[in-house]
Structure 1
Amino acid sequence: MHQPKECHLHVAYRVLQYLKSTPGKGVLFKRSGKVEVEMFTDADYAGSTIDRRSTSSHLTFVGGNLVTWRSKKQNVVARSSAEAELRALAQGICELLWVKNLFDELQIPLFSPMKICCDNKLAINLVHNPVQYDCTKHVEIDRHFIKEKLEANVICISYIPTNNQLADMLTKGISGTQLQKIIPKLEMDDIHSPA
């Protein structure tokens, strides 16, 4: 905004071109029999070229419907990809706790733990491993917070391969073919497409 360049104008044109080509696209909420909460979390390690901070993102699905999504730069520089992912998990759990409180207020019971999908095996192992390592002291608070929610059976964390990670599109630039594979998984439909 303060120093616009021609490359910024080209990006704006690309956004307008995308919006023009997809006027009927939207998120369609479908009724399902179960109320299950599932979240995909991701982080790009040191993704910002200016200050090397990572970006956390998450997508929340309730009953298979996309209800919340967020992408935010982390407050501090992560010293490892596992640290960036742990911070993304902790932020995602805070969002899930908000969703759980909303369900409690609406008096809708959740019968199973809320599922979090993460593509970093080291971050998942750090959460499940009770042994405290010196190299993980800087992420100790996030690790204990996540472990506490796991032990209380509020959440469960599962590994998902990177090519199936839906939250990638909020942290990294992805190709058009990847985007075309992700859009149906987000339950985005085009009302103008032939039935």
Structure 2
Amino acid sequence: WQSKLQTTIATSTTEAEYQAAAAAIKEGLWIRNFIQQLLATKKIEMTINIDNQSTLRLLKNPQSVSKAKHIDVQHHFIRERAIRAEVKLKYCQTENMWADYLTKQLPTNKFNQCIKKLGMTMSCTRLSGSVERNPTEPGLQPWTTEEKPTRDPPKANSQEVETESPTSAEDSSPSKKTV
């Protein structure tokens, strides 16, 4: 959905990933329940891919509570959901975490590969400081020379009008304003 800062401070990468997984599961459970109600479906599986093995061990092993005792309680519901098998937790290598790449600056070829893997398409094929229509898109016609935007500001019809604006008793001469 979006990239945003975490609301609590993490003291390690493992804790940051733990918090991110908890946020993803909260959002995912809501979406899953919505779709289940909408489609009157019994069960939709939900898998969370995690690229940090320490986080995965912490989530799958409830015995390691002492290692996670400093983690805010609001994030621990994720463990309960995994134990109840409401959510599957799966290791995924960082190179295959395509959504991660949307939070980083990438070279063009890597960005295009990421967009393709996510099943997205680019509606703009060229961006170089100007606005253009893509005439290859269905329903769009190329610009004619009369329609092309110019860099010159529009010229307004201006007239000079004399007005009197006495600002002080000494200066009561008429002034000119452009309207």
TM-score, normalised to structure 2, is 0.62
Matched-pair contact (CA < 8 Å) for 1:124–1:159? yes
> Post-superposition shift, 1:175?
2.8
Matched, 1:169 2:101: yes
Residue identity opposite 1:96 in structure 2? G
Residue 70 to residue 110, structure 1, CA distance change in 2 (3 Å):
farther
Query: Once superposed, what is the RMSD of the aligned Cα atoms?
Result: 2.2
Distance (whole Å) between structure 2 residues aligned to residue 110 and residue 87 of structure 1: 28
* Greater relative CO, 1 or 2 (CA 8 Å, sep 6+): 1
Matched, 1:178 2:110: yes
Distance (whole Å) between structure 1 residues aligned to residue 106 and residue 43 of structure 2: 35
Matched, 1:154 2:86: yes
> Post-superposition shift, 1:131?
1.2
Residue 95 to residue 110, structure 1, CA distance change in 2 (3 Å):
farther
Gaps of 5+ in 1: 1-68
Distance (whole Å) between structure 2 residues aligned to residue 121 and residue 144 of structure 1: 17
- Looking at secondary structure, tell me which structure has more strand per residue: 1
1:118 to 23, 44, 50: 50
Map 1:11-26 → 2, pairs under 5 A: none
Gaps of 5+ in 2: 124-135, 138-179
Q: Which runs of 4+ in 1 moved over 6 A?
A: none
Distance (whole Å) between structure 2 residues aligned to residue 71 and residue 159 of structure 1: 21
Query: How many residues are paired up?
Result: 125
Percent pairwise identity: 34
* Corresponding residue SS for 1:157: strand
Residue identity opposite 1:81 in structure 2? T
